[in-house]
Every structure is written in C-alpha cells, then in structure tokens.
Structure 1
C-alpha cells in the first residue's frame, strides 16, 4: 500500500532543499557576482578596502555559484574568424631548407654546388651544378620524408619530391596539407581559448565551425574591437641569424633570406635567414620585467629542446648579431657576447609597462600558427541582453501561470501538489545549472519554458491512471498505488527518448543549440524526479493525515 520509508522521505526533501539552496544566489545575482569578482581579484594578489567589503557582502557559508549568462543575455562580442592555413604551408616549406642544405652539402663532391632558387610560397626549388646527379640528389631529399601523423594520411609521406632538369622541387603532400590544416585549426582554437582565459572573461564560447573557421563569443566584453585586440595579434616570436642591415625596404634579401623592419629604429631593415634557430613554440614562460636600465621588458624561458638549440647556436656564433623577430618586426638584434646556456633571455624595446604585460600574455598563451581573417564581427549591447532577459522572464511567467491554473482546475487538490512540484522543478533546474557552472542563453530559456510544459506530463499520466483505477471500485490507497506503478513505464519511455534527443543535440550542436539541449536535459531529469518522488511523497503525507474514504482526481 502507500508506504514510503523514513530515510527515503528525508532524502527526497534533502535533495529539494539542496537544489533550492544552490539556486538561491541567482535571486541576488548582481550582489553575488560582485562578491565573486572581488574574491577572484583578491586571490590574484590585488588588495584594497573596497575589494574586502565586496568580498564580505555575501556570507561565505552560503553557496555562491551562479548561472552564467550567455552572449545574448549579458551582451558582449561575437567574431567569426577564418584561419589562414595556407600561411603554414609556406612556413613549413621554408623550415625544410636548412635540413636539405646540410644534407646535400655532405654530397657536394658528387652533386656539385647547391643553390636555393626563387620559388612559389608552397614550393622549395634547389638547383645543383651537376644535372647528371639530379636523381641521386632527389633520392637523398626523399630520405628526409616522414610519415604523415594522421589517420587519413596513414602510409603516406609528408613531402613530395620531383625533378625539373637540374632542379629539385619539394612540396608538401596532399595528405600532409590535410593533416596540417587539422593541426593548425586545433592549435589556433586552443591558443585563442588560452588568450581569452588569461584576461579572465566569463564563460566564453570558442568553437570550430566548418573546416577552417572559429566562432568566438565572449559575454561581458565591451566591443568586438576589444576582443580582436586580445586574440588578433599573432605574436610569432622567432630568433634568426642576421645576414645584413640596410635602409632600403625594396632591396632583394636573396634566396633563403627575409627582410624585416626594425621596431625601434625607423628606416632600418634587417636581412635575416628565413629559417629560425628557435621559435616561440619552444617558450615555456614569459613575464613582464625590467632591463638593467629600469626600462620595461619581457623575460622569457625556453623548454629543454629550445634551450639546447639556443645554447648551441650562441656558442658557435659569438660576436655575430642575432635578431629577435616579433610578428615580422625586429624587436632587437643584439650581438652574441658569450655562450647562453640557461635557455632564458630578455626582450627589450620601446615598451610601456602595459605593452610588456600584454606581450607576456600573448607569448605565454603561445603563437597563433597562422593569421586570422575576421569574416564577421558583432557587438551585442547589455541593453539588448536585458531585453532578452525580460522577454524570457515574461514567457516563463505566462507559461508557468497557465500550467498552474490548468492543473488546479483539472485535478483539484492533486493538481495543487503537481503545482508545488513544478515550482520545485524550476528551482532544481537553476540549482543544477549553478552547480555545473552552466551558461543560460535565450534558447536555454526556451528549453526551460518547454520543460515547464512537459514537467506536468508525468503527473497527468499518473492522475489519469488513478482515475481509471478508481472506476474499478478499488479503494483510494490502492488506486493511488496502482496509478503510480502502472504509469511508471510510460513516464520513463517518454522522458528517456526526449533525454536521448537532448544528448544528441548537445553532442552535434553548437552555441545556442547546446544551450537549449542543456536546459532541456536537466529539466527532464528534475521533472521526472519531482513527478515520481516529490509529488508522490506529498500525496502520501496528505493521505496519511486525512485518511479519506473517497478521493476525487
């Protein structure tokens, strides 16, 4: 008959109380948000009476997790960026030249002298002075090929080597280009995420879109231009041997060389070897600091591989200039005075303190592997976000009120129990969103509105089943018991299939679709819990107190 163990009753009410407690900070959203920001600032080393007052404005023993508001509710910036993957092909081809040069020099007695020829961006053309030995030279270069590191490129090499008369032509293979595209976009995605996380923005959306595009949405940021300043700088740091220096930007640097302007010296241009000795990818840390003259600078440190290459080069080239190049500009070109074995150094220039801080952030996050072209940019003001919140609130209130009235008119006292469970259901949804740090979007509000409508389905199934059982002249206790027992399978079937749909939407969707899927999935879990356990517990407790001979549903 109608019996629920004491421990089950305590557990059900405890879950409800915990959910409402977790949801409570959202009723004081602005106050709790200010407190959380103050606590985060104090943990980062900031101090001040105002921060301490803000941190103490919310009791520390109460939960402080909030439902994060998405871009369409808080306002912020939206960017759609295209990764210039073709840039990576050129850099990759250029990096092959020192290796090919050193290999062919070992066979100079046979193949003669070698010379790098002017080439398209995605090719490397090497001319030898003994055309009769071109096939032997090509075979040597093919020995540098490595397997493509991707499933789609299995059993294929990363370079294609062909011959044209006395010239060897080296290109990336199609399989390697596809693998490079995949690596480049994934690396750009991760670096953009690290850069945005460095500045402490709240719940950004950074997702791949298509083969070479990245969608970036950051709530709470001032404008799209501000967001571009954070992520738009490539911050490619490289270290090159200096070939020469001049004042003519149009002069030919020669094959295998590049010409870069000086950042500090106006009208000065450096000719450097195209292939860098060390790159920013081998940095493990960068921090703002000051040089020996007290001027702002950036100190850096290499990983073991970079430190070894940096140390070997400085040991072999004492007295030679060495260019530090940042985004195709020579920051400085110091002369190597001694062997630098520690793998660390300092970048000096005409920097402000703010510039060194930003540069250190960019270098720590890593260099973007390729440039970005911004195809779409949008700034959503907080006023529009507030309009969305107000519209969503009205939709929820209307839906909520309509369901409450319908349930009470249709099922009387039992409908009142369902309405109480429905209120708890919405509280539990916000409690779960706060606990997992979920982001609420406008489609997410639509998911909550849909959940409000769906949440009473299980109760309707149970109550209609109880009505059917009462018609067979069973007692009220037995009718209630059988109503829940026989409606359970239909409730589970309906909600499990809908939950599977929500999981699929979350797995394959992006942005707003995921926001809808999260609230729909959580709403299904909470509505099943409230319908099967909470409503039943309330009915049992009412029945135990009243002991009615007959009931009307």
Structure 2
C-alpha cells in the first residue's frame, strides 16, 4: 500500500498548477512597438494618433496596432527592422515635444496580467542593442576635492583674520594642500581653525624658513574612499537621468567594481546617438524665481509667447507646468558640494540638505538676505552636441534643454548650508537630492569598450537557445525512457514540470533571460535527471536483494534522499557563489542554476514519488518496470 500522504498530493498539485499558470505568459511573445510620451505640456489625443498614423502610412510603414494607453501612445510592428524605421518617422512627424521610445508590447492576456503573471524580460544578447563599459576617472575626484578645500581654507583664513601668504595644492596628487603662513602664531591658529571646521582633513605642521611657516592639510583616506563611492553613485544617477531622455525601454545602468559603470540599451542600434547623450554637458543653476509652476502669468506666457524681458519661460520636470524664472543666476552646479535627503526633525516632513562651496555660499547669503519670502528656482541645464554636415564638413551644433527641478520659497537667510522642505514624500526628496548631485558628472568618464548586437542577431540567439533547450530536454527524456522504462517515463514527466516551474519562478521574480541563462537551463535539465538515476538504481538494488515492489519503492526513495541532498547542496554552494560574487553573464548563469537546482530537487523527488504512488500505490505488484 502507498505511504504517500494526501497533503503531499495537494502540495504537488498546487505547485504544478502554479508553474503552469506563471510559465504560460512566456508562450505569448512580445511584439516590437514604439511608445510616444508627451513633454512640455504637449497634448496626446486623437489628433496626435491620427498624425502618427498619417506619417506611417505616407512612408509605407506597416503597423499592426495603434492605440492610446493611459498617458502614452503605442504602435505595434511586425519586426524590429520596421520598428526602427517607424521610430525615425514618428520622431520627425511629432518634433521635440514628444519622447519616442523603442519598446516591446506585451501580448499576454489580461487575466494573466491581473494576477501579476508576466513573461521574462529579454537580455541585450537576445533583444539586440548597444553595450558600453564606462571607466570613471577617480583621480579627477581627488583633484576636484582638493581644489574645493583650497578655496574653502582661503575663505576660512580671511574670515578668521589669519595672515597667510598662499594656499595651494601640492604638486603630487593626493598629498593635500600646502598653506604658507606669516608666523608661528598664525600657523597654530590656522591649524586649530582648519581642524575644527573641516574634520575630514588631517592637519600637520611643516618646516619653517624665515618668516614662512608651512602647514599641510590632506584628506583622510576614509574620506577619499567615501568620495570614490559617492562619485560612482552620482555618475550612475546622472547617466540614468540622461538615458531616460533617450526613451529607451528598461535600460540597464549599474556599477561594476569600484570605478566602472555598465550601460546596456536594449533596442538601440546607433551607438553614436547613445554616446552623444552619455557625453552630454550638464549643470545646475540657482536662479531667482518670479512665480510658481502653473501660475496665471506663466500659463499666459506659455500660451501667447509673450515672456517678460527679465525672465525665461521653463517647464517643471515631471509635471510639465510652465514657470517663469529670472535671468539672474545666483549660483551654479559647480559650487554645489553635496545634497542629501532626510527628515526634518521639527516638522517630521521630508527635506533635502544642500551644501555649497565658499564662493557659492557668499553669493547665496547675499541673495537670501534681500529676498526672504520670495521664490528661488533650481534649473537643470543640459547641452548635447549634434553632428551635422555643412559644406561637406562635420560641424558640432549644440542643443540645450532647460527645465525646473525645484521651485521653493526662501524661508530665511542662509549661505553655505540650507535645506529644501515642503516635499510630498521621502521618494520625492530622494529624487531631488539625486538630481541636484547628478546635474553634472562627478568625475570624467571614458568608454572602455562598446559592442552592438543587431536585432536579427538577437532573434537568431533566441532560436538557437530554444533549439538547445528542446534538444537537451529531448535527449534526456529519450535516454531515461529507454533505460528505466516506466520509472524513466515518470522521471520524464517530472523533468518537463521542472522546466515549467523553473520558467515560472524566473518569470515571477523578474529574472532577465540571457544566453548564459539559457545555458543554465540546459545544464539544470541535464543535472535534474541525476536524482532519478539514483532513485531508480536504489529501487533496482532493493529488488535484487529480495524486497517486495512496494518496499523497494519506499527504500529506494528513503536511501537515495541523503545522497541527492549532499550532491545538490554542493551544487547550491557553487551556484550561490556565482550569484553573489559574479556580475553580468556569470551572475545570470548563477541565478538560473540556483533556481534550477531548487526546482529539480522538488520535482525529481516529490513529484516523481507522487506519480509513482498514484500508479503503484493500491495495486498488488509482482515486479516493477524499472
């Protein structure tokens, strides 16, 4: 009689049902599409839809669907080549007030999306696009920080009325700032003032000659490490903001190591366009405000084009509301030292703390002293250089975009440090802090390597990967069925469901499918049969020893389990190491292998045991087909 409990039958049924449902979306491949978003308050209605349709028809670009979905317009196309051509046509038809993005439109039925079942996103090697490896110049971080400290020390010495001859950076990078003072008393006073005001500096007395008394201030090593990490984070945030303007669907921008950033733009086939945006020049400007976003004067100026002579008309990031801003610049992004989000201790509301350099602090103090209660705007300015052919020669033509990222009322007089409050939530505060710091790159970057994968190559990779999975699965199924007969067929059924559950789990947690991931799936299928081989051989051994068929099945599963567990634990350790310590393709392979080992342990043991119990449990057996 079967000793397989009913609750395990229920567990197996639920897991298999889960696997089928959440793997099903992958049977509905996405179609290439172009997504259109309106900016600067431009309309997105039936007239825009008709304009896009007319432009596509005029250029004989075939589309399979065109509809307005929420705040964007989506057009579907039969393949990636037509999609790329359509994107150029739509961009030319709509102009700069619309962002045109290459995307993949889901064809998953609504009832599956309602239960959050979706297909796995495709990696760059399967979808096509461009890959950049950006190297960050960390030496420039040290140079910039030491220059900033030199300016601050000069301002501090003047403020404290300490006589000095010069404040200069030492010739060798990282050796700090040299301060030459007029007397020993001045050196002692300067040392105390610098150590108190700038705790991140190590201050040491140097040699003195005549009336020249030397003092050296160098940045602490832990501060330099902190700056290096902050630099890579700031550059990553800046790149993400810039690439979002490209309209790329689900770009990958992530840190790799201590001084590199990986940028993968799926669907982009022109690296020159991507490099143009990545290398854009951007900064911030603190300006006097004239009104608030969306006030009547700004709306009227946007409608009529009549802007006051002392103002500029901009639009607010995110809302696209018009806002009038003074032409007077108070401070620029070069004078911004730091910006961080937090919570105001008095009101408990989100805030952003800003720190300016000495030169910026003086200008901000002078402005706020005379303008308490008035608005001040932060304008994000970005310049991209387009290459155009003029008289047979390449000419770099600048294209500048400006938008307001903050417009707040000055509550009191401030200079070097101040805070922005009145933000809706912590997320808005965090985003504003990133924008303030990400106005320009914290350190220069150069492209260490780049590669382009065409859409046809990506489609070829998908087909090859699918054939590899099917071939590997088919050969393993055939071998098991021939060698182990009925028990081999049971193992085949479990192996099929192993693939289904593996795909379901990867889809549910959003694992991006890549070629290394496909390799991991194939390897998982090959390894999964090992457990069933152990079980079948144990059952055969028990039969040879004279055990009854039911006893042989029971003993086969019990005795094989310890060996199966040991083997899979070692595999899990290796997969976990690949996942946690690897990056890029190695990590993708490790994640797939890790999930595959866990699913194969369940299907190879529990699922096969359930099926075997259903077949043999209530029957009187003389022998087993194994």
Residue aligned with 1:235, SS: strand
Cα distance between partner residues in 2 of 1:348 and 1:187: 17
**Unaligned 5+ runs, structure 1:** 149-156, 241-270, 285-300, 319-335
Q: Aligned residue for 1:202?
A: 250
Cα distance, 1:132–1:538 mapped onto 2, change above 3 Å: closer
Relative to the length of structure 2, the TM-score reads: 0.65
Written as runs of structure 1 = structure 2, the 5 A alignment for 1:290-439 is: 303=352, 305=354, 313-314=363-364, 316-317=366-367, 338-339=371-372, 342-346=375-379, 355-356=401-402, 363=435, 366-367=438-439, 368-439=441-512
Which of 49, 67, 73 is the matching residue for 1:50?
Answer: 67
Cα distance between partner residues in 1 of 2:334 and 2:521: 55
Cα distance between partner residues in 2 of 1:308 and 1:373: 27
Cα distance between partner residues in 2 of 1:366 and 1:236: 8
Shift of 1:100: 2.1
Q: Aligned residue for 2:25?
A: 25
Shift of 1:220: 2.9
Q: Aligned residue for 2:529?
A: 456
Q: Aligned residue for 2:541?
A: 468
Q: Aligned residue for 1:135?
A: 187
Q: Aligned residue for 2:136?
A: 83
Q: Aligned residue for 1:267?
A: none
Does the CA-based 8 Å contact 2:331-2:364 persist in structure 1? no
Relative to the length of structure 1, the TM-score reads: 0.73
Q: Aligned residue for 2:576?
A: 503
Does the CA-based 8 Å contact 1:418-1:531 persist in structure 2? yes
Cα distance between partner residues in 2 of 1:373 and 1:201: 24
Cα distance between partner residues in 2 of 1:119 and 1:529: 65
Q: Aligned residue for 1:12?
A: 12
Cα distance, 1:102–1:470 mapped onto 2, change above 3 Å: same
Shift of 1:223: 3.5
Q: Aligned residue for 1:332?
A: none
Cα distance between partner residues in 2 of 1:162 and 1:428: 69
Does the CA-based 8 Å contact 2:254-2:262 persist in structure 1? yes
Q: Aligned residue for 1:60?
A: 110
Q: Relative CO higher for 1 or 2, CA cutoff 8 Å, sep ≥ 6? A: 1
Shift of 1:521: 1.0
Cα distance, 1:178–1:425 mapped onto 2, change above 3 Å: same
**Unaligned 5+ runs, structure 2:** 47-65, 77-104, 288-328, 343-349, 385-397, 407-430
Does the CA-based 8 Å contact 2:381-2:401 persist in structure 1? no
* Structure showing the higher strand proportion among its residues: 2
Q: Aligned residue for 2:607?
A: 534
Residue aligned with 2:153, SS: helix
Q: Aligned residue for 2:279?
A: 232
* Structure showing the higher helix proportion among its residues: 1
Does the CA-based 8 Å contact 2:148-2:357 persist in structure 1? no
Q: Aligned residue for 1:324?
A: none
Q: Aligned residue for 1:71?
A: 124
Cα distance between partner residues in 1 of 2:17 and 2:539: 29
Shift of 1:21: 1.0
Shift of 1:201: 3.3
Cα distance between partner residues in 1 of 2:159 and 2:370: 30
Which of 415, 420, 444 is the matching residue for 2:517?
Answer: 444
Q: Tell me which moved more, 466-475 or 485-494.
A: 466-475
Q: Aligned residue for 1:94?
A: 147
Aligned residues: 473
Shift of 1:117: 5.6
Shift of 1:83: 0.9
